[in-house]
Amino acid sequence: MNRTGLTGGDPALLRRLNVEAVLRVMRSAEPMTLTQIGRAASLSRQTVDVVIAELDEAGWIEEVAPERSIGRPARRYRFRAEAGHVLGIDVGVAGIRMTLTDLDGAVVASRSAEMAPGISGPDRLTRIHACAAGFLAEHPHARLRALCLGVPAIVDTYGRIRLSTPLPEWSGTDLASIAGTWFDCPAYVENDANLAALAEHWRGAARYADDFIQLIAGKRSGAGMMLGGRLHRGRGGAAGEIGALALLGWEGDAMNDVRASPDPAQIFADAAAGDPSATARVDRFARVLAQGIAAMVLTVNPDLVVIGGGLSQAGEALAGPVRGHLDKLCLDPPQVAASTVGVEAVALGAVRLALEHTNAELFGAHTEGGRKVAGTGAPVTGRSAGQGLFESVRGASD
């Protein structure tokens, strides 16, 4: 758990590191033999043997049928991704989307639910809780280990809502603590644009970029940001709020002309078909959007800008013009791509965030500044890290 370098370590630390290494190797691939694991983790087969025995005992892995090959068939083990599940919830104004996955991030089920926009803050909360509970009840075998909510709001380090324009009644709510009581697992809360960035980095257009800006282009425009492979939130979670600089025009006519229109998709379609009026409207929109993006790009000089949000369904019809303007405004223009994860972005990002925290807790990996840990939440200290790893998993899905 120390890893910080300030204090030294004993053999127990070594063991934890090796357990972690073995798990990492196993999670990233097909079932493996002891020898293969040892090679991949640069450990002796002997050590791997002991570690594997412990992990098997605890239920994190299980033996599978050996492969047919020359020589004595090697035992093979696989990571039991079904030993835990996480739930990601995309909280929107008009409804929610939920995605349940196993520890590998494989989607078990998804569900969305409408929600009356006029519903009160507390009612919305209980409604979400009820939806989630109902959804989980259909998957009784799932052992929920974490939960993450994506919200259109500025969220602080502890998962509290600092400010939300779309959901004003939630401002000031300690959402992470509340959601932490829903199920027997920690709950995390994060800004939706940041989660979209996470999703895009995980399985989308930003898979190979460690520094990128995730733009949310929709009725509301915002941005998430990943720098050095990690989400950058800023002091109060307000990073990416470039729209607040009136000078750049994100709240001006050129923007609203398109995004507040009854059917923005039609405008993009018309522009693609060659309608000069629609083309001009799109271009004006793209130019102003690009100004805001340029301010961010010149500030952090990312590899890539991913355009997401409702309007990203226009794909290249939007990304193209934006790229054109951006190239003129920047010293070192980044790549520009349209989102590839689409409407699932936020829910998927929520899953990803929940998985990262789960992994960190279970395997004692990188200690990171993270979101509020509510629910079970006993912080992992000293040797209890090892214990945490070997808590009863058995019975979860046996």
96 binds, among DNA, a second copy, none (CB under 5 to 8 A by kind): none
Contact flag: residue 151 with DNA (CB under 7 A):
no
Task: Compute CA distances 300 → 191, 227, 304, whole Å.
Answer: 20, 8, 11
The Cα–Cα gap between 216 and 53 comes to 47
Residues 6+ apart with CB under 8 A from 83: 59, 60, 103, 143, 393, 396, 397
Contact flag: residue 27 with a second copy (CB under 8 A):
no
Q: Match 């520009």 to its residue by tokens.
A: 336
Contact flag: residue 387 with DNA (CB under 7 A):
no
* Residue from the set 89, 131, 175, 248 that interacts with a second copy by CB under 8 A: 248
Task: Return the SS3 of 205.
Answer: coil
* Residue from the set 65, 70, 94, 247 that interacts with a second copy by CB under 8 A: 247
Judge whether 87 and 98 are in contact, CB under 8 Å: yes
Rounded to 5°, angle at Cα 353 from 171 and 16: 130
Range in contact with DNA (rule: CB under 7 A) among 13-21, 91-99, 241-249, 257-265: 13-21
* Residue from the set 1, 43, 89, 125 that interacts with a second copy by CB under 8 A: 43
* Residue from the set 53, 106, 298, 378 that interacts with a second copy by CB under 8 A: 298
The one-letter amino acid code at 353 reads L
Contact flag: residue 120 with DNA (CB under 7 A):
no
Contact flag: residue 70 with DNA (CB under 7 A):
yes
List Cβ<8 Å contacts ≥24 apart for 294-298. 294/325, 294/326, 294/329, 294/330, 295/242, 295/245, 295/248, 296/213, 296/223, 296/225, 296/240, 296/242, 297/213, 297/326, 297/329, 297/330, 297/333, 297/334, 298/329, 298/330, 298/331
On the CB side of 318, how many CA atoms lie within 13 Å of its CA?
30
Measured from the CB of residue 258, what is the shortest distance to DNA in angstroms?
Answer: 59
* Residue from the set 12, 133, 245, 280 that interacts with DNA by CB under 7 A: 12
The Cα–Cα gap between 195 and 346 comes to 5
20 binds, among a second copy, DNA, none (CB under 5 to 8 A by kind): a second copy
The one-letter amino acid code at 357 reads H
Judge whether 240 and 305 are in contact, CB under 8 Å: no
Judge whether 364 and 385 are in contact, CB under 8 Å: yes
* Residue from the set 93, 109, 330, 396 that interacts with a second copy by CB under 8 A: 330
Measured from the CB of residue 386, what is the shortest distance to a second copy in angstroms?
Answer: 15
Q: Per-residue contact track with DNA, 49 to 68, x per CB under 7 A?
A: xxx----------------x
Nearer to a second copy by C-beta: 101 or 291?
A: 291
Task: Return the SS3 of 24.
Answer: helix
Nearer to a second copy by C-beta: 73 or 234?
A: 234
Q: What single-letter DSSP state applies at residue 155?
A: E
On the CB side of 70, how many CA atoms lie within 13 Å of its CA?
0
Contact flag: residue 71 with DNA (CB under 7 A):
yes
278 to 297, contacts with a second copy by CB under 8 A?
Answer: 291, 294-296
Nearer to a second copy by C-beta: 71 or 369?
A: 369
74 binds, among DNA, a second copy, none (CB under 5 to 8 A by kind): DNA
12 binds, among a second copy, DNA, none (CB under 5 to 8 A by kind): DNA
The Cα–Cα gap between 366 and 1 comes to 8
Helices (H), 82-211: 121-137, 175-180, 192-203
Contact flag: residue 1 with DNA (CB under 7 A):
no
* Residue from the set 102, 241, 344, 356 that interacts with a second copy by CB under 8 A: 241
49 binds, among DNA, a second copy, none (CB under 5 to 8 A by kind): DNA
Measured from the CB of residue 222, what is the shortest distance to a second copy in angstroms?
Answer: 11
Q: Which residues in this chain contact a second copy in the complex, by CB under 8 A?
A: 3, 5-11, 13-14, 17-18, 20-22, 24-25, 41-43, 47, 211, 225, 227-228, 230, 232-242, 244-245, 247-248, 291, 294-296, 298-303, 329-332, 334, 365-366
